[in-house]
Amino acid sequence: MATLRGLLETPRHLLVCEKSNFGHGKSRHRQLVETHYHNYKVSFLIPECGLLSKELKNLVMEMGPYYFVKNLPLHELITPEFINTFVKKGSCYALTYNTNIDEDNAVALLPNGKLILSLDKDTYEETGLQGRPSQYSGRRIMKFIISIDLMDLSFNLDSKKYERICWCLKEKKPLKFDFLLAWHQTGAEESTMMEYFSKYQIQERQPKVAMSTLRSLQCPVLQSSTLRGEPEASCGGPELFDWLGAVFCDVDLNNEPNSFISTYCCPQPSTVVAKAFLCTVTGFILPEKIHVLLEQLCHYFDEPKLAPWVTLSVQGFADSPVSWRENEHGFWKGGEHLYNFVIFNNLDYWLQMAVGANDDCPP
Amino acid sequence: MAAFADLDLRASSDLKALRGMVETAAHLGYSVVAINHVVDFKEKKQEIEKPVVVSELFTTLPIVQGKSRPIKILTRLTIIVTDPSHCNVLRATSSRVRLYDIIAVFPKTEKLFHEHNQYFIILMERNTTNHPWIPGMLLVASFIKCKMIAVLKDFVSIKEVACTHLDVDLVCVTVTEKLPFYFKRPPVNVAIDRGLGFELVYSPAIKDSTIRRYTISNALNLMQICKGKNIIISSAAERPLEIRGPYDVANLGLLFGLSESDAKAAVSINCRAALLHGETRRTAFGIISTVKKPRPSEGDDDSLPACKKAKCEG
C-alpha cells in the first residue's frame, strides 16, 4: 500500500507568484532578473499583435554573442590576467557545457567573481580543495560544492590560499571542460574573449531566434488586481502558468476527445484572440540584455494597444549549479528553474518563479 | 552523484547486434555499460569463455548523449549455480575469471542464496582427536561471525565443509518465475555489509505480462527484507529495443517498492559501488594491486638465467 501511495505523489515543485507595479519603488524585478545568471531560453508572447515593432526586433536580434570554448583547463579561469581583464571589468558569466549536474562535475562563474564547482565524490577527494557537501545529498554524500571567491583572491595573489588553489587545479587534478562564456563589459573595450582564448578552440555564436504568429489563440482573461483569480471573472496565476506552457509546447487547447497527446483545455473565462506573436531566443543569454528587453516590453504600452497583457518567460539551464544568486540547483527528475513576467497595460506585473525538486525556494 | 550505468547487456556471438545495443545505451544517456557473459553449469562441461575485447567491438567508442565523453564498456560474468560444486570455479584463481571486471552469481536454490553470503571456514578433517586448538578456532569463528556448519559433540569426526566465501560482486534475483524461497534477513544483511549488490532485471518484464507480475512481486519481497539498500536495476537486454533510459528505469524502481532516492541510486550510485567492489576484488584489501610488467625482449637478455643475474646486480 505504501508503494501505491508513493506512486500517486509527484516530485516536489514550487511555484511562487507575486504581483507588483514597475513604477513602485521597492519593486524587485530588476534584482531578480539580474541575479538569475544562466539563462537558456527567453520567450515573449504578445496577443493581438501580428508584427514586431522595430525596436523590439532590433533588441531580439542583438541579444549578444556568446562564446563556446572546448577543453578549457579550469586553472585558466583563476589566472590574474583573466580576473583583471574580464571579471573585474564588467560581468563575466561562464558555465560548463555538456555536463549533467546530477552525474558529473559542473563549474559556473558568477558575475560577482565567485567560481562554483559542483563535483562528484571522487573528483572532490582528488582535487583537495575545501568545500561543503551538497544540500540534496541524502544518506550517502556523493556531491560537493566548492566556492572560490576570485575577487577576494585577486587582492592577495601571494597568499597560501591562492597558491594552493593554483596547485590543486593545475597539477594535482587538472580539470578540463567545454565552457559557454559571456561577458557584459562596462567601460571601454580593451580586449575581447576571442583574442584572449585564441589558443583554445573558441567559437563565437549568436543566439537562435524563432518567431511565429499564432492564429485564433484562446487566451485566459486576467485582471491585474486579482492574482488568485475570481471564478467566472478572471483566471489566476497558476492557471496562466499552465496555459503558457501549453502554448509554448504548441499544444491544442481544445480538449478534443480523440487527441492522444493532450487533454488540456484553456482555463475559463477565456477569449479568442485573432493573432498573437510568439518569439523565442535560445542561447547563453545575459541577464542585462533580458532587463533591457523587459523595459522595452513595458514601453510597448506607451501607445494604446489592443493587448491587455504581454508575457516574458525566461528559463535557466537545467545543468547550472546555481539558480538565483548562489542558491544551489540540482537535477532530480527535471532541472527546471524559470521565471515569468505578465505585464499589464497599467504597468502592473505578475511575477511567477518556478523551481523543481532539488532547489531552494526562489527569493 | 555517479554516472548512470547499465550493468547487464547480454553478450551474443553477433558483434553487430552488440554494437547496436551499446550505441543505443550511449544514446539513452548511460555512461557505463557492462557486457554480460552468462555461464550455466547445469549443462555438461561448460567452459568459461574469454570476454569480448572492446577494441574489436568499436574502433571509436560512441559518445554518450548530452556529454562529451565516450561510453565506458566493461565485461561481466554471470554464473548460474544450482549445485555447490559449481561454486568451485570461483574459488580457483583461474585466469579466465580474473579477466572479467564484474562477477555475478545467480543462485537457484535457497541454500545457495543464503549460505553463500556468509563466510565458511574450512574445519578440520575427519578422524581427528581432541585438538587443543579447537576451542581457539571456535572463538575466532565467533569473532568473525562465521557460521559453523556442523560440529559434532565428540570432536572426532567433524565434517569437512566446503568452500571459502564466494568472491562475487552481484547476486542476481530471479524474475522469470515465482520465487522458490523466501528471503531471510540475517544473510541478506551480511551480504549488504560485505558490499554485495542485488540485481533485478527488467527486460523480461517488457516481453511478457506474466513475468511482469513475477518481477514486481519478487522485487517487493526483496525490498521488505533489504529495505532498498544495495539494489541495482539493469536490463538483461538482448536487443537494442529492450533498453530503457536511466530516468525511466529510476521510475520503474518506484514500482518495485524503492523510495525515490533509492530508485535513482539503483541506476547510478549502487552500480558505481559494484564496479569499485569488482576492482578491489582483484587487489589486496583494495590497497595494493599488481600489474604484470611486460617482459623485455629476448635480444636484450644475456645468456645468464634470471636468478644469477639478480645476484650480479645486488
Do both A108 and A140 map to the same domain? yes
Give, for A23, the enclosing helix (H) or strand (E).
none
User: Which of A12, A103, A201 is the best substitution to test chain B (most B C-beta atoms within 10 A)?
Assistant: A103
Quick check: is A80 in a domain? Answer: yes
The confidence score (pLDDT) of residue B245 equals 92
Average pLDDT over residues B56-79: 87
Average pLDDT over residues B64-75: 88
Quick check: is A275 in a domain? Answer: yes
Q: Which residue has the higher pLDDT, B147 or A152?
A: A152
Do both A281 and A323 map to the same domain? yes
The confidence score (pLDDT) of residue A44 equals 92
Do both A136 and A42 map to the same domain? no
User: Which of A13, A70, A98, A122 is the best substitution to test chain B (most B C-beta atoms within 10 A)?
Assistant: A98
Cβ of A98 under 8 Å from any chain B Cβ? yes
Contact A178 B68 (CB under 8 A): yes
Average pLDDT over residues A235-239: 86
User: What ipTM is given for this predicted complex?
Assistant: 0.85
The confidence score (pLDDT) of residue B125 equals 35
Quick check: is A164 in a domain? Answer: yes
Alpha-carbon gap: B38 to the closest alpha carbon of chain A (Å): 29
Residue B165: pLDDT over 70: no
Residue B233: pLDDT over 90: yes
Q: Which of A10-19, A275-284, A346-355, B81-90 has the lowest mean pLDDT?
A: B81-90
Picking from A172, A189, A205, the residue at the C-terminal end of a domain is: A205
Do both A282 and A295 map to the same domain? yes
Q: Which residue has the higher pLDDT, A255 or A87?
A: A87
| Chain A neighbors of B247, CB-CB under 8 A | 333
Number of domains in chain A: 2
Alpha-carbon gap: B66 to the closest alpha carbon of chain A (Å): 5
Alpha-carbon gap: B225 to the closest alpha carbon of chain A (Å): 15
Residue B105: pLDDT band (50, 70, 90) is: confident
The confidence score (pLDDT) of residue B287 equals 63
Quick check: is A111 in a domain? Answer: yes
Residue A97: pLDDT over 70: yes
Do both A196 and A138 map to the same domain? yes
Quick check: is A362 in a domain? Answer: no
Q: Which chain A residue has the Cα nearest residue B270?
A: A140
Of A2, A142, A332, the CB nearest to B269: A142
Label each residue of chain B as H, E or C: CCCCEEEEEECCCCHHHHHHHHHHHHHHCCCEEEEEEEEECCCCCCCCCCCCCHHHHCCCCCECCCCCCECEEEEEEEEEECCHHHHHHHHCCCHHHHCCCEEEEEECCHHHHHHCCCCCCCCCCCCCCCCCCHHHHHHHHHHCCCCCCCCCCCCCCCCCCCCCCCCCCEEECCCCCCCCCCCCHHHHHHHHHHCCEEEEECHHHHHCHHHHHHHHHHHHHHHHHHCCCCEEEECCECCHHHCCCHHHHHHHHHHCCCCHHHHHHHHCHHHHHHHHHHHHHCCECCCECCCCCCCCCHHHCCCCCHHHHHHHHC
Average pLDDT over residues A268-282: 89
Cβ of B263 under 8 Å from any chain A Cβ? no
Average pLDDT over residues A225-233: 81
Q: Give the A window 207-226 contacts with B, CB below 8 Å.
A: none
Contact A100 B66 (CB under 8 A): yes
Contact B258, B223 (CB under 8 A): yes
Quick check: is A363 in a domain? Answer: no
Picking from A189, A205, A221, the residue at the C-terminal end of a domain is: A205
| Chain B neighbors of A103, CB-CB under 8 A | 1-4, 31, 67, 268
Residue B308: pLDDT band (50, 70, 90) is: very low
Alpha-carbon gap: A261 to the closest alpha carbon of chain B (Å): 19
The confidence score (pLDDT) of residue B145 equals 41
- pLDDT, tens digit, 9 for 90 and up, residues B125-159: 333 444 455 455 545 544 444 443 333 333 222 22
Residue A171: pLDDT over 80: yes
Quick check: is A133 in a domain? Answer: yes
Picking from A205, A231, A255, the residue at the C-terminal end of a domain is: A205
* Average pLDDT value for chain A: 87
Cβ of B261 under 8 Å from any chain A Cβ? yes
The confidence score (pLDDT) of residue B52 equals 77
User: Beta A309-316 vs A337-344: how paired, if at all?
Assistant: antiparallel
Q: Which amino acid is at A91?
A: S
The confidence score (pLDDT) of residue B2 equals 82
The confidence score (pLDDT) of residue A327 equals 87
| Chain A neighbors of B259, CB-CB under 8 A | 6
- In order of A69, A208, A336, A359, the CA distances from A41 in angstroms are 20, 10, 12, 19
- pLDDT, tens digit, 9 for 90 and up, residues B202-229: 999 998 899 999 999 999 998 988 888 8
| Chain B neighbors of A98, CB-CB under 8 A | 66-68
Do both A186 and A281 map to the same domain? no
Do both A187 and A303 map to the same domain? no
pTM summary value: 0.81
Alpha-carbon gap: A141 to the closest alpha carbon of chain B (Å): 8
Average pLDDT over residues A333-345: 88
Contact A103 B1 (CB under 8 A): yes
Do both A9 and A91 map to the same domain? no
Contact B4 A103 (CB under 8 A): yes
Alpha-carbon gap: B3 to the closest alpha carbon of chain A (Å): 5
Q: What percent of chain A clears pLDDT 90, i.e. is strictly above it?
A: 24
Cβ of A143 under 8 Å from any chain B Cβ? yes
Q: What percent of chain B clears pLDDT 90, i.e. is strictly above it?
A: 19
The confidence score (pLDDT) of residue A209 equals 93
Do both A176 and A146 map to the same domain? yes
Residue B290: pLDDT band (50, 70, 90) is: low
Average pLDDT over residues B56-81: 86
Q: Give the A window 306-345 contacts with B, CB below 8 Å.
A: 332-333
| Chain A neighbors of B66, CB-CB under 8 A | 98, 100
Q: What percent of chain B clears pLDDT 70, i.e. is strictly above it?
A: 68
Q: Which of A212-221, B22-31, B279-288 has the lowest mean pLDDT?
A: B279-288
| Chain A neighbors of B261, CB-CB under 8 A | 138-139
Residue A281: pLDDT band (50, 70, 90) is: very high
Do both A57 and A87 map to the same domain? no
Do both A151 and A266 map to the same domain? no
Domain housing A301: 1-64+208-355
Do both A59 and A70 map to the same domain? no
| Chain B neighbors of A6, CB-CB under 8 A | 254, 259-260
Quick check: is A361 in a domain? Answer: no
Contact A3 B257 (CB under 8 A): yes
Cβ of A1 under 8 Å from any chain B Cβ? no
Contact B2 A142 (CB under 8 A): yes
Alpha-carbon gap: A183 to the closest alpha carbon of chain B (Å): 24
| Chain A neighbors of B68, CB-CB under 8 A | 98, 178
Contact B260 A98 (CB under 8 A): no
Residue B305: pLDDT over 60: no
The confidence score (pLDDT) of residue A90 equals 85
Residue B160: pLDDT band (50, 70, 90) is: very low
Q: Which of A96-110, A322-336, B43-57, B127-141 has the lowest mean pLDDT?
A: B127-141
